[in-house]
Amino acid sequence: MTDTPKHALNDEPIDDEIAQVLRAMQFPANKDAIVDAAREAGVSNDVITVFDALPEQDYADADAVEQLLGGNGGPGLSI
C-alpha cells in the first residue's frame, strides 16, 4: 500500500471542505455570505479562494453553488 498525496484524487480534501461549508450554510445566500461562512468554518485558503471566485449573485441552495463549481472543470461535489 502506498501513501497518496493529499492533492491527488481530484482534490478530495478541498471538496470535503467545500461540502462542509455548503452543508452548514443557510440558503438563499450570496457570494459574500458563502465566503464569510468558509472563513468562520476555518477551512483552507484554497477553499476560500474557490468560493471567492464565484460570480456575485444569490444562490438558492447548495446545489446551485455545486453546479457552478462542478462546471469549472471539476467533477462536482457530493454533499
Domain assignment present for 44? yes
Q: In this predicted model, what pLDDT tens digit does every residue of 57-70 receive, in sequence order?
A: 999 999 999 999 98
Report the pLDDT averaged over residues 51-79.
81
Percent above pLDDT 90 for the chain: 70
Domain extent, residue 62, equals 25-73
Strands 58-59 and 29-30: what pairing?
Answer: antiparallel
Domain assignment present for 78? no
Q: What is the model's pTM?
A: 0.75
Domain assignment present for 6? no
Nearest residue to 17 via CA among 34, 53, 54, 42 = 42
Domain assignment present for 3? no
Domain assignment present for 17? no
Nearest residue to 11 via CA among 66, 75, 63 = 75
Domain assignment present for 65? yes
Instruction: Fill in the amino acid letter for 71.
Output: G
Domain assignment present for 20? no
Domain count, the chain: 1
Q: In this predicted model, what pLDDT tens digit does every residue of 5-45 receive, in sequence order?
A: 333 345 678 899 999 999 999 999 999 999 999 999 999 99
| Residues 45/17, Cβ–Cβ less than 8 Å | no
Domain assignment present for 57? yes
